[in-house]
Structure 1
Amino acid sequence: MPFRSNGPNYLLSCDGHDKLAGYQNSLFDLKIYGCLDTFSRKILYLWIGQTNKDPKVIGRLYLDYLIESRLLPRRLRLDAGTETGHMCAIQKFLLERQGIDQSESEGVIIGPSVDNKIERFWRDLREGMVDNFRPVLRALYEDGLYDPTSQEDREILSGIFIPIVRQELQRFKNYHNSKRYVVSTNNTVLELST
């Protein structure tokens, strides 16, 4: 299906990011989830917690966004992960309540992650913020100061790092959202100076 976004809040792209989680995405309980408006390229929310695979957590993030923004997007673009089940149900229920025929609107579009427009943003986030934390986390593990098999160590690490990373995610979101973007006819994203 070709990419199309008819305007702000028409198509939101949501996905998880596990680059802080370490080896096989399981060394550290530091999981990110985000949502991007594909038209404006604005990040609508970025969240970090101990999991981004729990459908209840991901559904709650989406519901919180809807309540705060008071906007219902026409479409969601998601990968086929099991974490999106509640989010899909919320989207479909609310579209139905608004009387929107989902066969026409395609309220939820499921497809491979590589086709998800938030994927390009993850590279920017990794280079601009995530890579700053990875050497510290790796040193804690390699120097024997963190044992991933210890639940106590996992809880302590999450308790320390999640608030710090959450603050940095908010800063990065604000910086990213202060930029202006244009999308050319061949779907290349160009950043304009502000």
Structure 2
Amino acid sequence: MGTLCFMEGGQYDPAGQAFYRLRRLASYGLYRRKNFSDVLQVAMFIFEQLKSSSCLHGYRWMHSRCLQNGFIVQKEMVRILLGILDPSGVAARVKRKLKRRHYRSKGPNYIWHLDSYDKLKPYGICVNGCIDGFSRFIIWLRVGRSNNNPRIVAGFYVEALTYLERVPHSIRSDMGTENSYIAEMQSFLRRNGPGSRTAFLYGTSQHNQRIESWWGILRKECVQFWMEFFEQMKQDGYFTGDFIDKSRMIQYFFMDIIRIR
């Protein structure tokens, strides 16, 4: 147990306690670290780290990186240097805000985002949509009995081209088989144009952010109501989820209503 230092009157003396600890360390031949790395070199190392994904991390992680690379530096010094070199990053971490990327498109009809929406699929209602990446104009938003049939989805594409009388520069979608016919037609129509290799782009949902963002709006403004409505029907015993319920009851009575909404 260590010895506590008290001032006159019985009050605890932190300065005296610190002096006692230093004297105790000296008696063992131990001293506080004095051979710290040059601050400028540490700052240059942190500056280079900020050019990579390390810019997303805080001073504790950066301090560990400094130690791993042979620098002898205090954690407080790393915190101060980060505040100087990356003030915006520090402010964002304090607010716990993500640094979002900015979506860019060269113009109308440059890229269309295509996707299917399956939140109502357990109840027999299938949604497929396409949106222009630049203007967020909804190219089509269709409700039907299936959004997995490539012939049906390709029909939406042909109707859109006929109505708009133009072909987009590119289309982006996920790897779903329902998009296979559209991929072939789009690649054929753009085969002689500039950027023919990127006429149809496959990717994950994270890269299809325009239509994914629209699905969030659709659920908030419309779909959530129907999800709760159908779930309540299920709890009340009016819907069991079998083929007859989906194809006869839900689709027959509610599909046209959802289309209007």
The answer to whether 1:72 aligns with 2:150 is no
Q: Answer yes or no: is 1:43 the counterpart of 2:138.
A: yes
The corresponding residue for 2:150 is 55
**TM-aligned CA deviation for residue 147 of structure 1:** 2.3
TM-score (norm 2): 0.58
Q: Which residue of 2 aligns with 1:189?
A: none
CA distance in 2, matches of 1:74, 1:147: 45
Q: What TM-score do you get using the length of structure 1 for normalisation?
A: 0.76
- Report the identity percentage: 30
Large movers: runs of 4+ above 6 Å: none
1:95 aligns with 2:190: yes
Which runs of 5 or more residues in structure 1 are unaligned?
22-26, 169-194
Counterpart of 1:111 (choices 186, 189, 203) is: 203
140, 143, 146: which one pairs with 2:236?
A: 143
Q: Distance in 2 between matches of 1:63 and 1:78?
A: 16
| 1:55 CA displacement | 0.9
Looking at secondary structure, tell me which structure has more helix per residue. 2
Within the candidate set 105, 112, 116, 1:12 is matched to 112
Task: Give the structure with higher Rg (CA).
Answer: 2
The root-mean-square deviation of aligned C-alpha atoms, in Å, is 1.6
**Residues 56-105 of structure 1 deviation map (CA, whole Å, 9 limit, x = unaligned):** 11111111111111110000011111110011111111112xx215555x
Q: Secondary structure at the match of 1:118?
A: helix
What do the CA deviations read for 1:144-188 (whole angstroms, capped 9, x no partner)? 111222x322212112111111111xxxxxxxxxxxxxxxxxxxx
Deviations 1:91-135 (A, max 9, x none): 111112xx215555x100110012102101110000011111112
Tell me which amino acid in the other structure corresponds to 2:251.
Answer: S
Distance 1:103 1:92, change over 3 A: closer
Aligned length: 158
Kept after mapping to 2: 8 A contact 1:92/1:102: no
